[in-house]
Each structure stands twice: as structure tokens, then as C-alpha cells.
Chain A
Amino acid sequence: MSKMITRMVAFGLAAAAFSVFAAPASAQATLEAVRKRGKVLCGVSPTAPGFSYADDKGVRQGFDADVCRAVSSAVFGVPDKVDFVPLNTNVRFQGLQSGEVDLLSRQTTMTFSRDTSLGLDFAPVVFYDGQGLMVSTKLGVKSASELSQSAVCILPGTTTLQNLEDYFKPRNIKYEAVVFENPDEWRNAFFSGRCDVITTDRSDLASVRAIANDPKQYVILPETISKEPLAPVVRQNDSNWRDIVSWTVNALIAAEEYGITKGNIDEQLKSKDPEIQRLLGVNGDLGKMLNVDNKWAYNAIKQLGNYGELFERNLGEKTPLGLTRGPNQLWNKGGLIYSPPFR
């Protein structure tokens, strides 16, 4: 009797587990699956200051998280229909391939081999990063070429050490790499003088400097020794979903270019500019072409702000990270951020 009950319970639990957790993830119809589920599953970094981190209430904040929310706004009209799935660097692509997430927005560098061999497609670049070098002003070094025999603090990252080697070797600059597993140790080793140079992506260097007791004591050298264009990623062979993600990003960029902000978007609805009218869904049917609501871009911008607002809120000079726009300025202001036209 009791054995039978135990068996029944075990079977019931197993069946429940499968029915609850089995989720469709067909390669062709991500949008359909997303609608059915009522949520966008968005792969993000477990923790990356400024890009994806927890605020005091345990809500995921950051630039990457806001990109996910913008996609949610475009699809559902509200920003909070997102389930964030933290994915570590080494499993992020499998997470996308296996259907665990619909979209990867986690500081991922677009490269040739990733685009061609992993069954993935990249959306437009949302952040132009690059590996930089930071030194103490006491060292009196103005450029990377003046470095020699220096100890360099690095984290065991994806390509950090490789980039360093690629940059220093042809220039005959001798260095000693000191690897740290823990970011706190890594930072403190640099602050305490264990290393002369600390290297990682420039966006991270800025946050390291912000933590220092006296940030003015450190200088980020002008050289950028690698190109790290960070972009959202989707599965290959689902162009509708890819279009939605790509054009959501483009809409945020275009909004900044046309001066549409979170605050003034309702006035902009009355704009005479045909491109703004099309973007905001006043005229034309761009939304229908994407299989989403015609107000998709309006919703995303209204709820999250334009690209510049996203940047300033999460990474900009008023945040602890204190990043300047640099290459992430709009194309017509000397940067690289550019959206194709909405027509």
C-alpha cells in the first residue's frame, strides 16, 4: 500500500517537473514562443557593474538589462515581461543554442568566428568597447609604448591575455602577467602596487578607477589594444525575431538622433517629420512588418528612453562608473553609433 503510494507520488512529481519545465524552443518561431510564454527569456551576465547587476531591491539593473526590457516593450508593450537568465561566459552560447534564452544581452563581442560557426546572429552593436591599460600617475607613463618590464594585473578572461600578447610582442615590450581569479584581489593588487599596469575592457577600467580612494591618481592610457564591439545575440535562421531585436536597438539609437526622449515623446507624436511619424507608429505600418504592435518603438522609447538616456543612466558620467560617450557617441557627433533609416 505505502509502496504504491510512494511510487505514485514519485511518478506524479516527475511528470509535474517535466510539464512545468518543458518549454518549446523551436528555431523558427521565437516570437510565437515568446508570446505564448508571455515572457522574453533574456540571457545576461550574472553580475557586471553598469551592465547587469542587482539593485537594493534585487531588481536587475544595467545597460544590458535595459536592452532586454526594450525588447519586451516592443513585443508586449510593457518593459517588465522579461525573465533574466544569468549565464556565465563559458555557457552563454549554449544557453542560446539550447533554447534556454531567446536573446543574449550580455557584453558579448561580435567576432567573425562567433557569427559564422556558432549558429548565431548578432544584432547591431550597442556598445563599442576595447581593452585598455591603466597605470598610476606616479609611473609617469603617457603611452603604452613607454612601458617596459612591467607587471600587468589581469583577470583570467576570454581574450585579455591574448590581446596583451598580440599587442606587446610585435612592439618588443617585455611584461609579466599576474593573473587573479577574484576581481577584488585583482583590483587591490593594482592599488597596492603589486602591478604597474591593470588591463581589461575600458568600460571596466573606468569602474576600477571609480573605486580607488583617489581616482585622480590613475590614468587610462590612450591606446585601445583590442576591438570589442558588444552586441545582443539571437539564434540563427529566425529573421523575424532577429529583426525585432535589431530594430528595437536601432529605434533607441534613432530616437536619440531625432531628439526623442522619454520625456518629450508624447509631443513628438505631433511631429511633422515623416521619419519620426513612421518610427512612432503615427503613420505607416512598420510595426506590422515586424509582426508586432505599430507602437512598438513608441513603447520602448517611452518606457526606457533613447540610447543616450540608457547610456547616461547606467554607465554615464553621473554614475559611479563615470564613462564618457567616446566611440559610443552618435555618428553625427563624432562617434560610431548609427541607425539605418526607418522607411
Chain B
Amino acid sequence: MKVLSSINNTYESYQKLISFYNANKDKLFDDIHIELRQWFSANMSAALGAVLDLLAGHINDIYFDYIAPDTEKVLLKNEFLSYYGKQRIFDTNHTTIKYQKLKPSDGKYFKKYVIEELIGRNELPNMSVALKEKMVEAIYEIFVNAQIHSETDFIYTCGQFFPTKNKIEFTIVDTGVGFKEKVNQRFGVNLSAEKAIEWAVKDRNTTKENISGGIGLAVLREFIGMNKGKMQIVSNDGFYEYDRNGIKTNSFTGTFPGTIVNLQFCTNDFNNYSLKDEIDIDDIF
């Protein structure tokens, strides 16, 4: 299998990526050929980059045999293809959010990335400062989750602005221990990946043993609800999606070797996120 066709953020798209990985994962000292046909959503560079890194880790050479011209342009602008021997091009439309591959210990570098690629961008004049802050907080909660829980070698991120649709899509991927293994190990149970994700997203549920937590994903879900955005989690063979239509879960054929968190934010959200004096500072503890 070498063709990835029409990849965006649907369940079917994630399934195609998982099938591609599983068809190639046992190769060693081999060539891996890939074709990106029809379209390929820019933010999915994070997921593809993670998969290709794992395959390259088995001393396989990666070859892009064909990339649809429009897709190629975007993947050159967001610098994804510069990791595969191609010259990057300047993004004159300012709609890409750079593909980035970081070690979990590179928190400071992630901050620079977030400021340059999200907070400091003025392509989205509609967004209030408070909304931008909420969005960045949400992204940070996911990044930090990957740092704490996944034991991954790298964290992969990428995003894309959609100015006419008033949306930002942002994806964070790790290739570490997924939700299922983490939850099952901690509690000595045998939950499916779907159930493990569902459990972890609920408020106050955490696998940490001596420190309370489990708030980050719950806060994220509440924000996504208010913002009318969307969150998707792909971990092992589990799929979880939350948006205005509620929660959808499903399972995949084959397993993703880690976790993908994909977030979609609405930029034309006029909710008032600047809270004032709701909590008395002397009544916190």
C-alpha cells in the first residue's frame, strides 16, 4: 500500500493512515513509497510525519513518488517536505502553521513556536485576545499531556488557518504509550482503546498515582463545546470525537502507534472569555 488519497480529518482518513502504517511497519532495510493523491490536509502532516519517522527508524528509505500539486505547495510552505529533502517555499498567504517535531523536553522551544505561529499572528483579526489565550491554553494542555504520559521520543505538531471558514485546525501527535495501555496498566483492567479515551476525557480522571489531575482534557472539552469547535482523539485502535453533535466513538482496523489529538477551533467565536471577579482570591484553598 503506498497511496494515501483524500486525507483530511474524518474517521476514514485516520483509518487510511493506520492501514498505511500497518502495511509498512514490518519492513526493514527497505524502500517505502508513498503517493499523496487528491488532497491532504496540512495539519495531518503531524500524523504522517510521526508514522514516517517510525518507518524510517527501521532503516527504511522514504520516497514520495507523487504529491498532488496543490498539496505539495502547502506541504512545502508548512515545511513538512523540507524534512524529506525538498526546498521549502515562502507562504505568501500566511495560512500555514509550521510542521514541527520536538523532543518532549523542548518545552521552551514549543513556547517560541506557539508565540510565532499562533499568538503573534495577525491573520485573524476577529479573534479576541481572550479567545486566543483559551486556544493556546488548550493546545498547551495537550502538549503537556504528551510530555507527561506518552513516553514518546518526539511530539509532532502542525496546523492550518482557514480564513474563509473562520477555522483553525491544530494537531498534536506522539508515538508513545497510548491511552489504552496507560489506563489498563494503572488500574489492572482491560478497557478497549475507545473506553480508555472516554474515561480519560472525563473531569478528574487521571492515571497519575500521587498527583491529582485529569482536568486538562475536561477543560479542553468544555472550551470546544463553547467554541463550537471539534476535538478528535485517535489512540491505538480507538477513535473519539466531540463536537456540537455530541460524542462519537469507534474503533479502527489496525492500530495507530501512539496518539493523535486533532483540534478545530472557530475563530469567529464572540463568547466572552474574559471572566471578571468570579472567584475570591482569599477563598481558593
Do A and B interact? no
